[in-house]
Amino acid sequence: MRAAVYRRPGPAAEVFEIVELDVPEPGPGEVRLRMVTSGINPTDWKTRAGLTRRRPDGFQVPHHDGAGVVDAVGSDVAGLAVGQRVWTYLAAYRNRYGTAAEYAVLPAVQAVPLPDGASADLGACLGVPALTAAHCLGGSPEAVKGRTVLVAGGAGAVGHYAIELAKHAGAEVVATVSSDEKRTLALEAGADHVVLHTEPDVARRIGDLVGGVDRVVEVAPAANMELDLAVLAPGGTISTYAAEPELRLAGGPLMSGNVTLQFVLLYGLAAEQLASAVRWTSDALAVGGLTALPVVGYPLAQVAAAHDRVEEGFVGKVVLRPGEK
C-alpha cells in the first residue's frame, strides 16, 4: 500500500516520505480499513514537528481521524462487517498505522459506523474535534440540556462541534469569534448568538443576550479568563482544551463563584468517557445534527503541503485523499 510516513520529528517537507508498505493484518479486536479520507488536526502536525513527547517507533503513518470502509476484521470483533462505512478517532495513538495511507489497522472500538447520508469528508471531520467538544460539554446531552453555553472560537473545529452538539442537546449557545467571516461560520453551525470578541464591553453584550452562562468551552483561557468569569453563572464550568504555556488564575473569583475549571486532553480520557463522547457524536450524526467543516483536500503525495496548511491556521478541515494520485 502507499502510505505517508515519517521516521523522525521535524519540518513536514524534510521528514515526510511516500512509501510502499505491506498491507497490515488486523489482530484480535482490530479492523483494517480502506481509507477514503484522512483528516488532519493540529495534534497531528505538532506530533510530527516534535512538539509532543511521542516519537516514531521505526516509522509513523500519521493522522488519527478519517473515513473509510471496513476491509478485514480480526477475531473477537462484533458490530462491524466487511464493506461497512466508518469514521475513526485516535487511530495513530500508540499505533504506527494511522489514516494517512491506503489502508489502516486500528482497534475496532475506534472505527464507528458512518450513516449512509454522511459523507466521507464529514466522517473525517469528526474524531478529535467532535469528541473533544463532547467531553468539554460534559460528556452527554443531559449535561447541557436547557443550559446556556458559551463557545469561544466558534469557527474552529472544536468550536464548530461544540455549537452543534450543544444545540443537539437543547442548549442555548452564544459563540465568540474574531471576524465577520467566522461569525457566518458560527451562525451556520447553529449558534443562537455570535459576538465579535473585539467588540467593546463583550461581557455586558453577552449578559444582555443570555444572562449568565452555565458552561464555557474555551480555546484560549489565558486571554479569555477575565471574560469567562465575568459572564459565568454561579457554579458554572469552564472547560478548556488549549495547552497554554502559562495560565495565571484569579483565585478569589474562582472560589466565590464556585467555578469548576476543567482541562481536557483526549488522549488521557478513560475508556468510558471516550465511549460517552462517541455515543453523543453518533446520536447527533444519525439525526443530521452534525455538518462538515469547510474542507480542502490534497492527494497523499502532497501530505507535507497539507500539514503546512493546517499549521498556518486554515479555518476548516484539511484532508488527504489516499486514493487520489
Domain parsing of the chain, residue ranges: 2-126+290-321, 131-267
Length of the chain in residues, anyone?
Answer: 325
Whole-angstrom Cα distance, residue 36 to residue 299? 11
Among the listed residues 143, 128, 148, the one whose alpha carbon sits nearest the alpha carbon of residue 63: 128
pLDDT by 10s per residue, the chain, length 325: 999 999 999 999 999 999 999 999 999 999 999 999 999 999 999 999 999 888 898 999 999 999 999 999 999 999 999 999 999 999 999 999 999 999 999 999 999 999 999 999 999 999 999 999 999 999 999 999 999 999 999 999 999 999 999 999 999 999 999 999 999 999 999 999 999 988 889 999 999 999 999 999 999 999 999 999 999 999 999 999 998 888 888 888 999 999 999 999 999 999 999 999 999 999 999 999 999 999 999 999 999 999 999 999 999 999 999 988 6
pTM for this one?
Answer: 0.96
Q: Where are the beta strands (DSSP E) in 245-285?
A: 260-263
Phi, psi of 277 (to 5 degrees): -65, -40
- Is 152 within 8 Å of 213 (Cβ atoms)? no
User: The C-alpha cell of 208 is what?
Assistant: 444582555
d(Cα 317, Cα 161) in Å, to the nearest integer?
12
| Topology, domain 131-267 | Rossmann fold (3.40.50)
**Is 2-126+290-321 in CATH node 3.40.50.300?**
no
